[in-house]
Amino acid sequence: MAFKTGKMVITGDDIDKENAFGSVDSVPGYAYLAKNGFHDCINYIEQNLDRPALCIQVAQTRQPAKVSYDESGDLLGAYGWRCVQQLGQGKDGTTFWGYKYDDPKEVKHVVKIKSSYSKLFDNHTQIFNGMLRAILEQGEKRPRALLDQVVKHDYNHYRSKEPFKHITPEKKTIHKSLRDVCLMNSWCISNTGFVFWDMGYSNGRNFMKDHNSETRWVDYGGAGMLQCPNFDSVYRTFKALPVLELGTDTHQRLVNGKDSLIIGDSDFVMCQFLLNYEFWSEPETTADLYSSILQVKRQVIPEITELLPKLIKTKLGKSMYNEYKKGWNWLDEATWRSLGKFIDANT
């Protein structure tokens, strides 16, 4: 990964020279491995002594791999993180709640192992995280919904005392959470030039509740965020960010023509938001199918936008469509700020 000059904000591995093991026989569990002939594990550990948490993982799971599973296929650990509870699995990867193998305090984090598909769009995730870190270092506040996470090449993680909870089906809770997402998107467009469009479908919503019942956005996969018209100007105000690759001619081929998932389109974002609301509100809806079709080719956006009035059945969905179908740019922070107020006033 290429970077602009300055401080590097993305960590590509888990090298920890300060706590590195001096030799393989100093790793807890080595004696058992040696006694029982786990030579492949011993060799693997010997090659990774400067990754102490991974060394302990290999010794305890007795599997010479960065990701380990039990006989039933359940996740045991990954990249030096012990899995306490698996939280989900989707196209973007596998998410679990756990702690570092070498952490005596067992401080819990949510860890997301990135899939190959997710890595195609990871340039966006890395840039967004670099922007957010720079903003926080300047002492500025972020929306509470946004998580301060660590982004690495193979996984991301953020601290969490407990696994987040799914949004309850009560309309009041749902609408308040949507308002929080609107305010978050307004801030993101203004401060980063990105907008989040993927609200989550069959694998769960991409916003949840923490232990204080506060809304938290949980999906930072690059395919779920889009460059807005102000992205280039905002990007140039930061230093030490990864070099932009997505949206350039050089890397376009890597995403299989899915340019709708890179450069924002106002109608695309509007359709995705309203279709997602229908999906979670109407059990018999086909909204998720149309959401998938929208992602395949940019050329279908006008067609599905035209179909949208027939797909929307809910009262609030119709109201939002009628209010924001024309004259509003869904890639502009003012639209999301207004939409949040509209939801609040009409629910």
User: Can you give the pLDDT of all 347 residues of the chain as single tens digits?
Assistant: 444 433 323 444 789 999 999 999 999 999 999 999 999 999 999 999 999 999 999 999 999 999 999 999 999 999 999 999 999 988 899 999 999 999 999 999 999 999 999 999 999 999 999 999 999 999 999 999 999 899 999 999 999 999 999 999 899 999 999 999 999 999 999 999 999 999 999 889 999 999 999 999 999 988 999 999 999 999 999 999 999 999 876 555 555 667 789 999 999 999 999 999 999 999 889 999 999 999 988 899 999 999 999 999 999 999 999 999 999 999 999 999 999 999 999 99
- Give the 3-state DSSP-derived string for 179-246, with helices as H, strands as E and coil as C: HHHHHHHHHHHHHHCEEECCCCCCCCCCEEECCCCCEEECCCCHHHEEECCCHHHHHCCCCCCECCCC
Helix and strand numbers, DSSP H then E, in the chain? 12, 11
CB 192 within 8 A of CB 150: no
Position 7 scores a pLDDT of 31
> How far is the C-alpha of 68 from the C-alpha of 77, rounded, in Å?
5
What is the Cα 52 distance to its own chain's centre? 26
> How far is the C-alpha of 104 from the C-alpha of 32, rounded, in Å?
21
